[in-house]
């Protein structure tokens, strides 16, 4: 055989291979180009979102319920979801048929809440399978919204040690208001008086409650509080969880886009209570640059930790991109970490022959509302201290000083308070919101996108300025009357020395 003959043979062989491939390919294409159909008990379902489970690849079913992925894919399961249905799924056979089951038509008021805490004797307790999510939630305020010690002290009028009739107290000062708090703080409770709340409902804003939220009702946000503005869908048989994933095809889960929207949080995080605008986070968010950029509460507060790769490892969970699994601490790291990233300061100097001026600027970054937000008594304190080179305090010559409200040890020092200061009908402050006048109080909290500037004037003996920013959940005099352990957060501490550019 010469060269020419052999290359002719190779060519022939190649041709045969090509013809074989062309004949073989179409018969194999369902496996490479996955295609199938979505059905319910009445026939084909159009417009269902079909996904290759655990991936970002999805297509929609057509008028005949048929779907087809546009390119060859790897993956072992396909899932489908449409509004009004549980998520369905099927193995990757040659042409998978996915059956969808309708959600129950009505909410079941007699439903018994599932306990979040781990308990091997109870099959559905969330922590049995979602251990990491449980650990995150358990350290959050949502888990303490009924039993939190400071909260209960203010509700009952007790102190840290349980002593009755000490300091502020809703039940002691305004007992008629006792039933108003449960709608947000104990949304799953049947009882109105928080002292009577028992069982799973005492776990506050818990897993099962949050994941039974089907939609937001038509009430006015701020006036229709918490559970009165949230529509639930609790099943009469089996289970039903709403979530932000559309490919969990265990038969008891469904997807809802609401779970990635600020609107989901709004009914509890906006509240005019007894005529006083106690909670305004949602409306502050609506007015913020973050909202204009489309950033939702969840984007900052449930930002994936990046550590969780499986939300129910060993219990049916599949490996997932950790950047798709939400964080249930409701803070990115911790509140302190978030605050420290969010509060920024700078200082510029002006030197005169007989005095020195320090212009302090404070602003926020990466916050979706005013700072602080949330409960009305939250506040920031800026403490400014002029010092000599030996660290001795230099007295202030002119500029703002801290009011008595800032607490005994800080009152009179150079600084500022950023807060809403509620007043009663006689003009006294601070007062609990249940005794406050509905007139909007002065509001000096930081506004995203706005710089606060103050001038502090010192004698020329000044060589440096120390700035501290403290975050406080309650007014110091309230904390003291309640014997609460100190829990101020030091948000930042920075020392500045004058630098003057040579002219
Ligand atoms: C305040 C309401 C709320 C509470 C309480 C809550 N969740 Fe969630 N959960 C959500 C929201 C909202 C999302 C979607 C967040 C996102 O994807 O940005 C979510 C997502 C999830 C997911 C989907 C996977 C993921 O991480 O995105 C699981 C699973 C889950 N939650 C389980 C739980 C469990 C278990 C608990 C209790 C230990 C719990 N949740 C408590 C609101 C809540
Ligand atoms: C059913 C009502 C309800 C819903 C829905 C709800 N929250 Fe809350 N949230 C509360 C209550 C009540 C507290 C206060 C708990 C306490 O400290 O007593 C709270 C506290 C918080 C805190 C402070 C947590 C801490 O550890 O101090 C953050 C942050 C928060 N919520 C964010 C959210 C976000 C984001 C959403 C939406 C994804 C949301 N919440 C949905 C009722 C709710
Ligand atoms: C027996 C184990 C088990 C228990 C108990 C359990 N889950 Fe799950 N859950 C799972 C598994 C498995 C998944 C899917 C994981 C995956 O696909 O990676 C899941 C998914 C979810 C989702 C996501 C649904 C979606 O479509 O976004 C939510 C929400 C959820 N569970 C809430 C809860 C709540 C709330 C409880 C307690 C009342 C609970 N689960 C108890 C195993 C469990
Ligand atoms: C752009 C990011 C971002 C968005 C969007 C955002 N937040 Fe925040 N949030 C923060 C930061 C940062 C803090 C920490 C500063 C602080 O504690 O005030 C915070 C603090 C909070 C607190 C704690 C307040 C306190 O002092 O007790 C609550 C409650 C809260 N946010 C709720 C919400 C809700 C509800 C939404 C949506 C309506 C939302 N946040 C939107 C960044 C954001
Ligand atoms: C519209 C929903 C809503 C209603 C109604 C409501 N709260 Fe709250 N409450 C919240 C939210 C949300 C937070 C968390 C805000 C934050 O962390 O700054 C909170 C936080 C608090 C805190 C701070 C707890 C802590 O440990 O830091 C106290 C105290 C409090 N509420 C008291 C009450 C009392 C008393 C009532 C009834 C008169 C009441 N609330 C009614 C939503 C509500």
Binding site membership of 311 for ligand 3 (Cβ less than 6 Å)? yes
Average of per-residue pLDDT across 401-420: 97
Binding site membership of 211 for ligand 3 (Cβ less than 6 Å)? yes
Binding site membership of 59 for ligand 3 (Cβ less than 6 Å)? no
Angle at the Cα of 142 (from 141 to 146), degrees rounded to 5? Answer: 90
- pLDDT tens track for 289-319: 999 999 999 999 999 999 999 999 999 999 9
Output the pLDDT for position 26: 45
Q: How many CB atoms lie within 10 A of CB 336?
A: 13
Q: Which residues line ligand 4 (CB under 6 A)?
A: 262, 265, 269, 281-282, 285, 290, 295, 297, 299-301, 335, 338-339, 342, 366-369, 371-375, 378
Average of per-residue pLDDT across 221-240: 97
Q: Is the peptide bond before 147 cis (omega within 30 degrees of 0)?
A: no
Measured CA to CA in angstroms, residue 380 lies from 288, 301, 469 at distances of: 19, 20, 7
Of 6-10, 147-151, 278-282, 362-366, minimum mean pLDDT range: 6-10
Atom of ligand 2 nearest to the CA of 330: 29
Of 85-94, 377-386, 412-421, minimum mean pLDDT range: 85-94
Res. 19 pLDDT band, cuts 50 70 90: low
Atom of ligand 5 nearest to the CA of 177: 38
Atom of ligand 2 nearest to the CA of 264: 37
- Asked if 403 contacts 383 with a C-beta cutoff of 8 angstroms, the reply is no
* pLDDT at position 249 over 50: yes
- Distance separating alpha carbons of residues 382 and 419, to the nearest angstrom: 11
Cα-atom radius of gyration of the chain, to the nearest Å? 30
> Which is nearest to 282 in space by CA: 269, 272, 295, 293?
269
Output the pLDDT for position 433: 98
- Distance separating alpha carbons of residues 146 and 135, to the nearest angstrom: 18
Output the pLDDT for position 30: 46
Task: Give nearest CA residue, ligand 3 atom 33.
Answer: 126
Return the structure tokens found at 467: 């700035």
- Asked if 319 contacts 309 with a C-beta cutoff of 8 angstroms, the reply is yes
Output the pLDDT for position 20: 56
* pLDDT at position 75 over 80: no
- Distance separating alpha carbons of residues 241 and 109, to the nearest angstrom: 16
Return the structure tokens found at 472: 């406080």
Output the pLDDT for position 305: 94
Output the pLDDT for position 123: 79
Binding site membership of 133 for ligand 3 (Cβ less than 6 Å)? no
Task: Give nearest CA residue, ligand 3 atom 39.
Answer: 126
Atom of ligand 1 nearest to the CA of 206: 5
- pLDDT tens track for 220-229: 999 999 999 9
* pLDDT at position 9 over 80: no
First to last CA, the chain: 93
Test site for ligand 1: of 211, 215, 332, most ligand atoms within 8 A of the Cβ = 211
Task: Give nearest CA residue, ligand 4 atom 11.
Answer: 367
> Which is nearest to 462 in space by CA: 352, 382, 360?
352
Res. 74 pLDDT band, cuts 50 70 90: confident
- pLDDT tens track for 460-480: 999 999 999 999 999 999 999
b/e 94-106 (16+ beta carbons within 10 angstroms → b): eebebbbeeeeee
* pLDDT at position 117 over 60: yes
Measured CA to CA in angstroms, residue 76 lies from 73, 89, 323, 433 at distances of: 10, 11, 21, 56
Task: Give nearest CA residue, ligand 2 atom 5.
Answer: 265
The CA 258 to ligand 5 mean position distance, Å, reads 23
Q: How far is CA 289 from the centre of its chain?
A: 17
**214 dihedral zone (left: phi>0; alpha: psi -120 to 50; beta):** alpha
Task: Specify the length of the chain in residues.
Answer: 503
Task: Give nearest CA residue, ligand 3 atom 6.
Answer: 126
- Distance separating alpha carbons of residues 490 and 380, to the nearest angstrom: 10
For 369, residues 6+ apart whose C-beta sits below 8 A from its C-beta are 281, 284, 285, 288, 290, 448
Res. 327 pLDDT band, cuts 50 70 90: very high
Of 120-124, 219-223, 229-233, 341-345, minimum mean pLDDT range: 120-124
Average of per-residue pLDDT across 281-293: 98
Average pLDDT along the chain: 93
Atom of ligand 3 nearest to the CA of 318: 18
- Asked if 258 contacts 246 with a C-beta cutoff of 8 angstroms, the reply is no
Measured CA to CA in angstroms, residue 353 lies from 37, 394, 456, 458, 459 at distances of: 84, 17, 16, 12, 10
Atom of ligand 3 nearest to the CA of 244: 27
* pLDDT at position 449 over 70: yes
- pLDDT tens track for 124-164: 999 999 999 999 999 999 999 999 999 999 999 999 999 99
Q: How many CB atoms lie within 10 A of CB 19?
A: 10
Atom of ligand 4 nearest to the CA of 284: 38
Binding site membership of 264 for ligand 2 (Cβ less than 6 Å)? yes
Output the pLDDT for position 94: 77
Quick one: which ligand is closest to 241's CA? 3
Res. 4 pLDDT band, cuts 50 70 90: low
- pLDDT tens track for 55-66: 889 999 999 999
Res. 32 pLDDT band, cuts 50 70 90: low
- pLDDT tens track for 364-383: 999 999 999 999 999 999 99
The CA 365 to ligand 4 mean position distance, Å, reads 12
- Distance separating alpha carbons of residues 415 and 301, to the nearest angstrom: 30
The CA 332 to ligand 4 mean position distance, Å, reads 10
* pLDDT at position 500 over 70: no
Average of per-residue pLDDT across 237-262: 97
Residue the block writes with tokens 């449960």:
182
The CA 164 to ligand 4 mean position distance, Å, reads 33
The CA 185 to ligand 2 mean position distance, Å, reads 9
Q: How many CB atoms lie within 10 A of CB 54?
A: 18
């Amino acid at each position: 055989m010469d060269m020419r003959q052999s290359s002719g043979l190779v060519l022939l062989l190649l041709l045969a291979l090509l013809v074989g491939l062309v004949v073989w390919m179409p018969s194999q294409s369902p496996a490479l180009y996955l295609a199938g159909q979505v059905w319910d008990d009445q026939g084909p379902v159009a417009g269902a979102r079909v996904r290759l489970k655990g991936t970002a690849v999805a297509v929609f079913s057509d008028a005949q319920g048929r779907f087809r992925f546009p390119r060859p894919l790897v993956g072992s399961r396909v899932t489908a979801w449409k509004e009004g249905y549980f998520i369905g799924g099927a193995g990757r056979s040659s042409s998978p048929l996915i059956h969808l089951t309708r959600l129950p038509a009505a909410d079941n008021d007699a439903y018994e809440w599932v306990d979040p805490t781990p308990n091997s004797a109870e099959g559905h307790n969330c922590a049995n399978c979602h251990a990491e999510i449980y650990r995150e939630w358990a350290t959050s305020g949502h888990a303490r919204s009924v039993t939190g010690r400071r909260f209960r002290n203010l509700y009952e009028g007790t102190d840290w040690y349980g002593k009755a009739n000490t300091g502020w107290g809703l039940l002691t000062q305004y007992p008629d208001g006792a039933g108003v708090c449960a709608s947000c703080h104990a949304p799953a409770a049947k009882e109105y008086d928080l002292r009577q709340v028992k069982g799973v409902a005492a776990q506050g804003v818990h897993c099962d409650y949050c994941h039974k939220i089907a939609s937001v009702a038509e009430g006015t946000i701020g006036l229709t509080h918490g559970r009165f503005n949230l529509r639930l869908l609790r099943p009469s048989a089996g289970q039903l969880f709403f979530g932000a994933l559309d490919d969990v095809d265990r038969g008891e889960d469904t997807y809802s886009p609401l779970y990635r929207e600020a609107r989901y949080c709004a009914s509890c995080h906006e509240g005019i209570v007894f005529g006083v605008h106690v909670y305004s986070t949602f409306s502050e968010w609506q007015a913020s640059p973050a909202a204009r950029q489309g950033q939702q509460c969840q984007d900052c507060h449930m930002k994936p930790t990046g550590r969780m790769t499986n939300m129910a490892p060993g219990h049916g969970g599949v490996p997932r991109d950790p950047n798709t699994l939400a964080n249930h601490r409701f803070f990115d790291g911790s509140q302190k970490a978030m605050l420290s990233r969010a509060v920024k300061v700078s200082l510029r100097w002006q030197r005169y022959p007989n005095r020195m001026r320090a212009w302090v600027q404070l602003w926020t970054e990466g916050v979706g509302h005013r700072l602080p937000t949330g409960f009305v008594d939250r506040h920031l304190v800026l403490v400014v201290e002029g010092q000599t080179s030996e660290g001795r305090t230099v007295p202030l010559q002119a500029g703002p000083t801290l009011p008595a409200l800032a607490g005994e040890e800080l009152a009179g020092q150079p600084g500022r308070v950023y807060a809403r200061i509620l007043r009663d009908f006689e003009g006294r402050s601070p007062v609990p919101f249940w005794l406050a006048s509905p007139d909007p109080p002065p509001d000096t909290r930081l506004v995203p996108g706005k710089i606060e500037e103050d001038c502090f004037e010192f004698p020329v003996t000044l060589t440096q300025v120390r700035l501290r920013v403290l975050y406080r959940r309650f007014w110091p005099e309230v904390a003291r009357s309640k014997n609460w352990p100190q829990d101020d957060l030091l948000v930042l501490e920075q020392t500045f020395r004058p630098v003057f550019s040579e002219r």
